[in-house]
Structure 1
Amino acid sequence: MLALTLWSSLADSYPKVVVRDYNVYLVTENGSTTALSSTGTQSTPFDHANVYKSPDGGFAVVHQIETYGQNRTITVIDSSPDDQRHPRPVVFSYDTQYARGEPHTYGPSNYLAGDDLPIVHPKLFDLTTEKQIEVRKDFIDNPYMIEDASWKFRDNKYRYMYYERGLRRIRMVEIDESGEARIIMEETAEQYIDYYTKPAWVFLDKTEQMVYLSEADGYNHVYLINTTRIEGGNPGSVTITPSGHGDMVQQVTKGNFSPTVWWMGKTPTTYKHQARVNYDGTGFKVLTADGDGHHNLKWLENNTFEDRWSRVDLPLKGAIRDEYGEKIGTLEVNSTVHDNITIPERFNTAGRDGTTQIYGIIVKPRHFNSSKKYRVIENIYSESILIIRLVDSFNVPKGLSEEVQFYLARLQNLSDTHAVVVVVIDGMGTNWRGRAFQHFFYKNFKDSGFEDRKIWIRAAADTRPWIDLSGGVGIYGVSAGGFNALAALLWHGEFYTAAIADSGNHDQRLANAEYGEVFMGWPVDDAIYDASSNVVNAHRLNGSLLLLAGELDDNVDPSCTLQVVNALNAAGKDFDFMLVPGAGHGVLHLRDEIVQLGKKFNNFWKNWLSST
């Protein structure tokens, strides 16, 4: 947020507010120390990472962990450490990185779907009287987490965001100097609110308003909210980005008192553009509409900006624009297309509902011959949160940046090596296509957009006689894509006949709570989770499968894959499996470094292509 840097610098000024021995202390410039709290213990500590002083230095808020939760950790085995002969147990969570050669790496607890979560409350301190002030906390009834939202600039009022467990309710709460609290914004959803990528805010202190991003109407739009409203009254919000302009991706406000919001949004064709709109909702204008492609920009000090855009099939272009979008100068850009890729084909068609457009790309071999037949392999990563997989991606590459070209080079190598076409597709359930699109497989993770993907591939083949679907389609992916790849064989084995599943989160009860509970719901219903579990449904396997995992994966517990192995063994299924010593999350990224891994990857596809 715009103001957070200011508050963090205040925290370092005297008198300092610090956490020592689980409690809060006031430290003056001459070194004297006064205890401000006494309730902190090893099991109920104040959090040193969440200390927030008021702008005038007279008050401070410190978050206290009142209940720790289940204190869960993940234990894996480093089978081949560099510094000793014997294996080493490693204990970590998703928030730690393991360094080879260290005896252990410990991190904060990891909470899985259904676990008891920590309960955190903000505590208020008067730094003048050196006393703690009791804070009303009935607005924190079932927390997933709370998040700092900064002090109010002109008055000593502290704000925080409360996220309810299950993420069907979020609210912004304001605390005054007396400890009294009130709700200044609340949002609810029937399924979930995508707090990872959607809600964001900027306070306009001069007008007592807040610019807030929300999907309340189904798309991520900008709202102007009156923060002085009476609790329970009309929020006084005004939508200031018109409907029908796609999801807003990020917000840029040029000055705290500016009457205009600049924003990056995705058009219905899923390209990212820059736009502006007045705070009263008038004057909406896409500033980059004359640039056909996916835009990235950099604001300059003189109210102009550098605009760079490209499409996955068009090299980079650039211009310097004024704040109204008019081109006022040229911009030198690197429009090089590397010789290790070919320009992909774009293709879109209506999905399963007959209306919603599904977008994708087709990568052909560099020595493509339209008189020949080419099998299809899909690279998949279908999940509904956390996804801006590449800078210019949004589920399927849109631009042609250096990062995208690196990704395309991996696809090109696969296409060239095996004389196949490689496709990447945006099926129902992914992010940045509106709430209904994103929530499509809520509590049904196994859907993964496969019905749309199959329609897209068949439609592409209908107009491209060189695409051969007679032996089925191959599929591979990492992490959520690893889940997707295996799910393709379990539920769509009539279409997908081979899969490489790398580091998959194959059962959402083994995924962290912020991931599993959002996809599959809270409270945890085992029947619902079972229905989308690759572990529980491993007996459905139909097709050729290669499972991969890194033994030191600190993102998805390797036991996710090992439990699939166990279930497949119990079901008498044939498959291949490789656990890579010393590797972390996503071992396919190492296939150029680990020769045998690269051979296994290529031999798998070679054997599949020759046998079907």
Structure 2
Amino acid sequence: MKFKIGLMGLSAMILAAPPVIAQTALSKADYDRAVRFLPQNAEKQVLNGTVTPHWLPGGDLFWYRRQTAPDRAEFVIVDPAAGGSRTPAFDHEAIAAGLAKGLAKPVAADQLPFKVFRYGDGGAIEAVVDGKLWSCAGVPVACTSSAAPPPMQTEIASPDGKWLAFVKDNNLWVKPVAGGEGFALTSDGIEDYGWGTPPGVNYIATAMKQAGAGYPPALLWSPDSSRLLIHRVDDRKTGEMGLVQAVPPDGSVRPRVHRWRMPMPGDANLPMTETWIFDVASRKAVKVDVAPAPFGISSPIEGGEIWWTSDGKAIGMLTRNRYLKKMDLYRVDPASGGAKLLVSEEGKTFVEAGGLGFKPMARMLGNGEVLWFSERDGQGRLYLYGANGKVKKVLGTGPGQITRLIHLDEAKGQAIVRANGRDKGDDPYVSNLYRIDLRTGAMTRLTPEDGEHLAGRMDGLALGAGDPFAPPGTTDSVSPSGRYFVDSVSTVDTPPVTYLRRADGKLVTLLEKADIRPLKAGGFTAPEAFTATAADGTTRLYGVMLKPSNFDPANRYPIIDQIYPGPQARRTPNDFMGAIFDHSFAQAMAELGFIVVLVDGRGTPGRTKAFLDASYGKLANGGFLEDHVAAIKELARSRPWMDVDRVGIYGISGGGNAAARAMFAFPDFFKVGVAHAGNHDQRGYTYMWGESYNGPIVGDNYAATSNAAIAKNLTGKLLLMHGDMDSNVSPALTLQVADALIKANKDFDLMIIPNLGHAWGNYATRMTWDYMVRNLMGAEPPKEYAFPAEEK
């Protein structure tokens, strides 16, 4: 009888399940629909979905570019003190007329050929157009052109505007801005032991060097322009890496070999950083009395881990040891180089001062106190240390993680921070802005609306210094004075609304409400936020599901896991624009006829230190892949239109690693995978990554991270891709997996893309689409689909 009931239940399930709709071919129109959701097309689909304030010096005014139609925009200045009133940033008609004459082609006032500008001398409007810097001024407006500034400045101006500091032949030089002879402050710089030069482990600098581009020197002027702070990195004993550029851009046939130095986990020799201070007038130098520290991914200067105090009387210096288990803060005397230890913290795993790539949450206050970020009690908080080196106050007790220190007002004894999971009932990842009282430790929420608040998310970004159109701090959410901030709030299924608020949270004005009519006109199915249970049976996971615009619950769709396993970053977005226009084209992939799942397993950031530390020493598990399997199975049980028998996975970098590992570790579940630029063996990747998150080499804890070691388990369809000029993750790691698959006599696909660095690129994107369409959907993609040319 039981057997009979079982058959009846099985029959009911089969009858209830939607049919698998066999689609034999996808058309160019299907791919065109997917292209709408690539990041570069976000502005065409959502008007004013992103508002970036550009704060002007000397007050709280800012300008931003606001869209009036998908292909039309205006530049406006906002005056917060006048209730957020908006006025044109310049005479658009006059600038258009001047540019039209200079460019010898029509220019419309609401279609100006630039998205950013700056005010030059005499009120001139300066912008880069067609690769040249145009300056427009006068009545009537006349526009003249000159060489465009490089994306990254290789000469750093002193605060008083009189001097330029730069590196030439590995030595530090200074020259007057007004012209005249420059002079060298050093003469002993050599290759791999230069002044202000980045070592090979800084892959961005390495890639720019290989491309023949300049990179900003690592130096800081003192506020009074009298001294220069600079580092010197000894990279002479670090092991070598290499790339063979098979297709040199100059058209030559002979392959070009690129060599640089990059340490790997367990290496005896690491690049070591020394810090020096130069007096420009006397041309004398002192070495900072702190032991040389290992160079991480970016320099301490570039990463904001060394800074001048506002009065120039001291230098703050944060140092970390190997494995990042110890972090120290020193106060340095610029005259003598003497250093005093202010705060020191150690942990069983890595100790962090904030998000990777952002300036650390450590500040020396004018009264001798120190503001210090720590996760010592399991949650990310700020601690106020007294001048005696003892903890004076814990700031922001209770649940939630402080993730950014956005603004500090010492006079008022207040700080503005970004934090998530703070309020009862919140998704633990949803972020808000808060004001902290440094005297009482109380936190006050400043952003009242439900949803993900973006204010402060990118404030304090360490990279990108030297951009003449966006000097540090000018595009932060909070005004330089700290009196106002710009905030955008949304969820994955509700469009963003952007507000201007006072620092106390009081609303000044609604700046923009995103217009999604173009998005809806082309078809749109909103993302779905979900929760699921991890493989441990208890932990709640949070994710987002993406469906095609023409979604039909009567159909049955193959599923794709678009993965990035961290552990330094979370894959799942909380905001509308991030969910739909992400860099790994998840929504675009869904448009082809897939259900795309974004979910973070255990061991990722944003919740608690214990939750993050679940991945420590376990990089071999690919970001808890078992949690991804459990979540997808749970989702499919209540959604008959998800075909759990057809699951694919793809990713880049750490996501490429995880995609390949999923195919090898869970071959019965993941049927098709695309692994692009994967760091498939932590022993062959940069030392800091592995040693930070996997710890020291103990036993086989690093050998276990090798995807090549388990490649023999492959049963599905796998495409391995890599750019041959990837100086971040070596193509050798992909080829080592390919070698293991060949030795195991496995069928797989391999693509090495000439001159591609650590990025997707259009061809790799199209190959990923085609591969999933052919092998997971069982359909034929349009032949040799060409992406539309991007507007310049």
Instruction: Give the TM-score band, short-chain normalised.
Output: 0.7 to 0.9
Aligned equivalents of 1:15 and 1:413: distance in 2? 49
Q: Contact 1:113–1:513 (CA<8 Å) still a contact in 2?
A: yes
Aligned equivalents of 1:406 and 1:34: distance in 2? 49
Aligned equivalents of 2:250 and 2:294: distance in 1? 46
Q: CA deviation at 1:276?
A: 0.8
Q: Is the partner of 2:340 in helix, strand or coil?
A: strand
Aligned equivalents of 2:193 and 2:591: distance in 1? 58
Q: CA deviation at 1:87?
A: 4.6
Matched residue, 1:399:
575
Runs of 5+ in structure 1 lacking a partner?
93-107, 388-393
Matched residue, 2:384:
224
Q: Contact 1:171–1:186 (CA<8 Å) still a contact in 2?
A: yes
Matched residue, 1:306:
486
Letter in 2 for 1:603: R
- 1:131-181 deviations in Å (ceiling 9; x for gaps): 5446533x4476657545223444733332212111111212223233432
Distance 1:327 1:378, change over 3 A: same
In structure 2, which of residues 436, 439, 445 is the aligned counterpart of residue 286 of structure 1?
445
Q: Which moved more, 1:333-342 or 1:554-563?
A: 333-342
Confirm or deny that 1:206 pairs with 2:373: no
Matched residue, 1:266:
420
Confirm or deny that 1:240 pairs with 2:399: no
In structure 2, which of residues 253, 256, 273 is the aligned counterpart of residue 120 of structure 1?
273
In structure 2, which of residues 215, 222, 236 is the aligned counterpart of residue 68 of structure 1?
236
Q: Contact 1:198–1:215 (CA<8 Å) still a contact in 2?
A: no
Letter in 2 for 1:325: G
**Following superposition of structure 1 onto structure 2, how do residues 44-443 of structure 1 map, counting pairs within 5 Å?**
44-47=193-196, 49-55=217-223, 60-66=228-234, 68-70=236-238, 72-79=240-247, 81=248, 83-84=250-251, 86-91=253-258, 109-115=261-267, 116-125=269-278, 131-133=284-286, 135-137=288-290, 139-140=291-292, 146-147=300-301, 148-154=305-311, 156-176=313-333, 177-194=335-352, 196=356, 200-201=360-361, 203=363, 205-226=365-386, 228-229=387-388, 234-244=389-399, 246-253=400-407, 255-267=409-421, 269=427, 270-296=429-455, 298-299=477-478, 303-336=483-516, 338=519, 339-385=522-568, 387=569, 394-401=570-577, 404-407=579-582, 410-418=585-593, 420-443=594-617
Aligned equivalents of 2:447 and 2:776: distance in 1? 43
Aligned equivalents of 1:404 and 1:511: distance in 2? 29
Q: Is the partner of 2:708 in helix, strand or coil?
A: coil
Q: Contact 2:724–2:754 (CA<8 Å) still a contact in 1?
A: yes
Of structures 1 and 2, the one scoring higher in RCO (CA 8 A, sep 6+) is 2
Letter in 1 for 2:581: F
Q: CA deviation at 1:376?
A: 1.7
Distance 1:376 1:142, change over 3 A: closer
Distance 1:40 1:405, change over 3 A: closer
Letter in 2 for 1:150: W
Q: Is the partner of 2:350 in helix, strand or coil?
A: coil
Q: Which moved more, 1:322-331 or 1:408-417?
A: 408-417
Q: CA deviation at 1:526?
A: 6.7
Q: Which moved more, 1:26-35 or 1:128-137?
A: 26-35
Aligned equivalents of 2:338 and 2:587: distance in 1? 60
Distance 1:556 1:26, change over 3 A: closer
**Following superposition of structure 1 onto structure 2, how do residues 587-606 of structure 1 map, counting pairs within 5 Å?**
587=760, 589-591=762-764, 598-606=769-777
Q: Contact 1:212–1:225 (CA<8 Å) still a contact in 2?
A: yes
Q: Is the partner of 2:513 in helix, strand or coil?
A: coil
Letter in 2 for 1:238: K
- 1:208-251 deviations in Å (ceiling 9; x for gaps): 2333333333232222233x43xxxx43352212230x222222
Q: Contact 2:527–2:579 (CA<8 Å) still a contact in 1?
A: no
Q: Is the partner of 1:460 in helix, strand or coil?
A: helix
Q: Which moved more, 1:375-384 or 1:59-68?
A: 59-68
Count of matched residue positions in the alignment of Structure 1 and Structure 2: 569
Q: Contact 1:549–1:587 (CA<8 Å) still a contact in 2?
A: no
Distance 1:605 1:588, change over 3 A: farther
**Structure 2 length-normalised TM:** 0.64
Aligned equivalents of 2:220 and 2:720: distance in 1? 47
Q: Contact 2:407–2:415 (CA<8 Å) still a contact in 1?
A: yes
**Following superposition of structure 1 onto structure 2, how do residues 526-541 of structure 1 map, counting pairs within 5 Å?**
527-541=700-714
Letter in 2 for 1:602: V
Aligned equivalents of 1:127 and 1:599: distance in 2? 59
Q: Contact 1:204–1:256 (CA<8 Å) still a contact in 2?
A: no
Distance 1:18 1:461, change over 3 A: closer
Q: Contact 2:711–2:740 (CA<8 Å) still a contact in 1?
A: yes
Q: Contact 2:649–2:673 (CA<8 Å) still a contact in 1?
A: yes
Matched residue, 1:465:
640
In structure 2, which of residues 665, 683, 695 is the aligned counterpart of residue 509 of structure 1?
683
Q: Contact 1:153–1:205 (CA<8 Å) still a contact in 2?
A: no
Q: CA deviation at 1:326?
A: 3.5
Distance 1:491 1:468, change over 3 A: same
Aligned equivalents of 1:601 and 1:494: distance in 2? 17
Matched residue, 2:44:
none
Letter in 2 for 1:552: M
Q: CA deviation at 1:317?
A: 2.6
- 1:440-478 deviations in Å (ceiling 9; x for gaps): 222221321222222222221232233232x25221111
Confirm or deny that 1:456 pairs with 2:631: yes
Aligned equivalents of 1:249 and 1:324: distance in 2? 19
Q: CA deviation at 1:507?
A: 0.9
Distance 1:561 1:85, change over 3 A: same
Q: Contact 1:55–1:156 (CA<8 Å) still a contact in 2?
A: no
Matched residue, 2:127:
none
Q: Is the partner of 1:273 in helix, strand or coil?
A: strand
Matched residue, 1:100:
none
Q: Which moved more, 1:169-178 or 1:287-296?
A: 287-296
- 1:266-312 deviations in Å (ceiling 9; x for gaps): 22511121111111244311122333334437445793433321111
- Give aligned-pair identity as a percent: 25
C-alpha RMSD of the superposition: 3.6
- 1:518-552 deviations in Å (ceiling 9; x for gaps): 23223x44721111210222223232212122223
Aligned equivalents of 2:358 and 2:325: distance in 1? 14
Runs of 5+ in structure 2 lacking a partner?
1-152, 198-216, 457-476, 781-792
Distance 1:183 1:542, change over 3 A: farther
Aligned equivalents of 2:490 and 2:175: distance in 1? 54
Aligned equivalents of 2:730 and 2:535: distance in 1? 34
Aligned equivalents of 1:461 and 1:32: distance in 2? 71
**Following superposition of structure 1 onto structure 2, how do residues 536-555 of structure 1 map, counting pairs within 5 Å?**
536-555=709-728
Letter in 2 for 1:581: P
Aligned equivalents of 1:20 and 1:575: distance in 2? 48
Q: Contact 1:261–1:278 (CA<8 Å) still a contact in 2?
A: yes
